Amino acid sequence: MEVDWPDRWQNVHHYLKRAAPFSVEGFQPGSEVIEYLHECSICIIGAGGLGCELIKNLAMTGFKDIHIIDMDTIDVSNLNRQFLFRQKDVGRSKAEVAAEFIMSRVPGCKVTPYFGKIQDKDEEYYSQFTLIICGLDSVEARRWMNAMIIGMYDEEDPSTLKPLIDGGTEGFKGQSRVILPRMTACYECSLEMQTKPKTFPMCTIANTPRLPEHCIQFASQVQWPEEFKDKKLDGDDPEHIQWCLRKAKERADQYGIRGITYSLTQGVVKNIIPAIASTNAIIAASCANEAYKLVTGCAGSMQNYMMYVGDAGIYTYTFALERKEECPVCGSALLQFEMDKNSLLQDLIDLLLEKNEVQLKRPSLRTSSKSLYMQAPPQLEQMTRKNLEMKLQDLFTSNEEINVTDMNLPISLRLHVKLK
């Protein structure tokens, strides 16, 4: 640690020199905890708006072994708020540029980037960290990370406990939270709180459009796939947006609807709420603050969820989110349905997809004796596809235990279907 000059860390060491009124029970001040702060290993998931703030805050707090994972490259549109990136970095890996920047500015801080997906790494990799901080905008990636740290936790072995700090922002709203496996609510426990993207029922879009949004969604969801069978609509491609704009306008004129603009079209297509740099700064700072407290114990953690709204005054609400007994990740999930015995397996899968509290994408189902429907590998999918059109009573008995997995999510839940 020859790079440390006298008093370099005096501010962050101050709280570690003596037990204060709000230190956690059993807090041991002194050189050991000070060393631990500098030596422990922290993983940051996401090097975007939140990630840039997070890595800067953690480096300034004295964490010297930081890993950062991001699969994205830098885009020009990121430069306004992802302040570790410059014009010359456009096209490069976010994780790598962020790591270089921090290492060039904060001597003694080692940042290890990984340019790739979180799913590329396994339990062994994640178990090297003291804690993990997520600054992501993807619900799926968070669910995966959450399930990973909960799966890793073995109650017999305290060293397997990896706290997860999660931050998220949307416009002027944000939240930060601390997840302790099987002690606090996990990400999956509160999945219902996640606001669903605003979409409109297809019958409205197709038959009774009233809003400009309805026309734009008709253009992007119905007309685009009709016209360009193999080309995916890209919300960042102005040509694509122009096309949707033209089609939506035609339809709007037909129905006498006003208010279709380019920015609205882009907003609906991309379903974006603009990211605000100050919200990112606030939420990332709160996450870093929780990391400092968790690692050192110099003060207790937040209990355990803080929501933040900053458009009218400043409002925060911090509360203890309860664990859910039937959580498919940290609890003993058992879904119970009642269905007609003559219903088809496809009906059961449709019902599962509608369940907001589990939000499955591509569920696979099997009983202890056979596969009912498997999404992968392709051969198995093909073999089980015919079951979709079969009656439930011909596939399993009433309340027989069915195991549901999802290829995009590391979760597994039990399902009982009472046939009548």
Q: Which sequence positions are flagged as catalytic? A: 203
Question: Pick from 91, 256, 377, 378: which binds another protein (CB under 8 A)?
Answer: 256
CA 336 to chain centre: 27
Structure tokens at 339: 């269905």
Task: Closer to another protein by CB, 312 or 379: give it.
Answer: 312
Residue type, 378: P
Does 106 help bind another protein (rule: CB under 8 A)?
yes
Helix (H) or strand (E) holding 306: strand 305-309
Contact call for residues 148 and 253 (beta carbons, < 8 A): no
18 binds, among another protein, Zn ion, none (CB under 5 to 8 A by kind): another protein
Strand partners, 65: 41, 110
Q: Which of residues 46-75 bind another protein (CB under 8 A)?
A: 53, 56-57, 60-61
Residue type, 334: L
The DSSP annotation for 245-270 comes to: HHHHHHHHHHHT-----HHHHHHHHH
Residues 194-223: x where in contact with another protein by CB under 8 A, - otherwise, as a string = --------------xxxx------------
Closest approach, Cβ 132 to Zn ion, in A, equals 16
Closest approach, Cβ 293 to another protein, in A, equals 8
228 binds, among Zn ion, another protein, none (CB under 5 to 8 A by kind): none
Q: Reduce the DSSP state of residue 409 to 3 states and report it.
A: strand
Closest approach, Cβ 409 to Zn ion, in A, equals 13
Does 31 help bind another protein (rule: CB under 8 A)?
no
Contact residues for Zn ion (CB under 5 A)?
186, 188-189, 327, 329-330
Structure tokens at 323: 């664990």
Does 300 help bind another protein (rule: CB under 8 A)?
yes
Separation of first and last alpha carbons in the chain: 70
83 binds, among Zn ion, another protein, none (CB under 5 to 8 A by kind): another protein
Structure tokens at 207: 């038959």
Stretch that binds another protein, among 79-87, 120-128, 143-151, 405-413 (CB under 8 A): 79-87
Question: Pick from 234, 255, 340, 394: which binds another protein (CB under 8 A)?
Answer: 255
Helix (H) or strand (E) holding 260: none
Does 274 help bind another protein (rule: CB under 8 A)?
yes
Question: Pick from 172, 357, 367, 412: which binds another protein (CB under 8 A)?
Answer: 172
Whether the bond between 377 and the residue before it is cis, its omega within 30 degrees of 0, is: yes
Contact call for residues 219 and 248 (beta carbons, < 8 A): yes
Distance set, CA 224 to CA 101, 229, 230, 235, 247 (Å): 42, 8, 10, 12, 9
Closest approach, Cβ 323 to Zn ion, in A, equals 6
Task: Closer to another protein by CB, 284 or 330: give it.
Answer: 284
Q: Crossing angle of helices 262-270/238-255, nearest 10°?
A: 110
Task: Round to whole Å and give the CA distance between 396 and 387.
Answer: 11
Closest approach, Cβ 17 to another protein, in A, equals 8
Structure tokens at 281: 């700064």
Closest approach, Cβ 257 to another protein, in A, equals 6
Q: Which of residues 303-342 bind another protein (CB under 8 A)?
A: 303, 306, 310-316, 318
Residue type, 392: L
E strands, 24-140, are 41-45, 65-70, 110-115, 131-135
Does 241 help bind another protein (rule: CB under 8 A)?
no
Closest approach, Cβ 61 to another protein, in A, equals 5
| Binding site residues, another protein, CB under 8 A | 3, 5, 8-12, 14-15, 18, 20-22, 53, 56-57, 60-61, 80-81, 83, 105-107, 172, 176, 208-211, 255-258, 274-282, 284-286, 288-293, 299-300, 302-303, 306, 310-316, 318
